[in-house]
Amino acid sequence: MVSTTAVKRALAALATRTDTARRPYVAVIDEADAARTDLRRAAGFVDAVGLDRLADAVDAAERAGDEAAAERGRDALAAYRGFRRAATGDIDGSDNDSDGDDGASADPDHFRSGPGIPKPDTGQDADR
């Protein structure tokens, strides 16, 4: 038979649980915020939850007047959008693919191939 003390302890533990007391938007924002420190976890969050749901959670936090959660959600959303831009190669945030009329990259640190150094076994001239 179960003791009264064990039942009271179990009921007290259930009553004080915080993971069920959080609003759904807070859970989404908390996970988004925590996941952005690990690339695999961030990719899993985007795949499982998605940025649309995160944006909805930010809106819900704003409607509820929870500015701290809304701000963390906006920061996380901006970070995930930055990850997406970096993954597609759009570092400066522009959506256009043209770098200019001359075909040169707008990024001065971008690698450009030069005259090249021949491999010793190819017999190529150094000025090719």
pTM of this prediction? 0.55
Rounded CA separation 48/75 (Å): 19
Residue range(s) defining the domain that contains residue 63? 17-87
What is the tens place of the pLDDT at every residue in 34-73? Answer: 988 888 888 888 888 889 999 999 999 999 999 999 999 9
Q: How far apart are CA 42 and CA 39, in angstroms?
A: 5
Count of structural domains, the chain: 1
Q: Is residue 33 part of a domain?
A: yes
69 lies in some domain: yes
What pLDDT digit, counting tens, does each position of 68-97 carry?
Answer: 999 999 999 999 998 888 888 876 655 544
Q: Is 125 exposed, middle or buried (0-12, 13-18, 19+ CB in 10 A)?
A: exposed
42 falls within a domain: yes
46 inside domain:
yes
